[in-house]
Amino acid sequence: MKKFIALAIAVAVLNSGCASIVNGQNQSLSVQARSKGDQVVDANCKLSNDKGVWYLKTPGSTTVRRSYENLAVLCEKPGLEAGLTSAKSSTKAMAFGNILFGGLIGVGVDTMSGAAYDYPDMIVVDMGVNQVFTPVVVAPVTEIQVSN
């Protein structure tokens, strides 16, 4: 009986990825549109990647399916030029925990399902502009030099 329980636990751990257990395949995010620095209300936005298509009005939020592919965000409003932003997909740090806890199977599950990836939580689309939106990452200070 103890061997059966140990085997069942091992199979459960190997068949599920760490990131998919913690965060899943979906992500909530918000979109704002701007024109010359001012917020644009009620722009119609289409968000798409290889996992699906989602729609919202600005400013707004929706839940998208995570993917390795970037998220294309196209916003349109009569009287303004359309804005197109590509929100970069990034690999979550916890996805690397699969190497230790989920093994190659866990890594495979999370990368195939999209659970290993993240988009920025807030995406800003500048109307009339095509751009790539990359989240700002602040590197920690590791060394301080003092000059005399």
pLDDT score for 76 = 97
pLDDT score for 90 = 73
3-class DSSP state of 125: strand
CA distance 85 to 110: 25
In sequence order, the 6+-apart residues with CB closer than 8 A to the CB of 11 are none
Question: What sign for the dihedral angle of Cα 59, 65, 70, 74?
Answer: negative
Q: Which CATH class is domain 2-133?
A: mainly beta
pLDDT score for 44 = 98
pLDDT score for 33 = 97
pLDDT score for 80 = 96
Q: 11: which DSSP letter?
A: H
pLDDT score for 75 = 97
> Which residue numbers in the chain have pLDDT < 50?
4-22, 93, 95-100, 102-114, 138-142, 144-145, 148
- Count CB atoms within 10 A of the CB of residue 123: 21
> Counting beta carbons within 10 angstroms of the beta carbon of residue 53, is it exposed (0 to 12), middle (13 to 18) or buried (19 or more)?
exposed
pTM for the model stands at 0.65
Tokens of 12: 């459960």
CA distance 74 to 65: 17
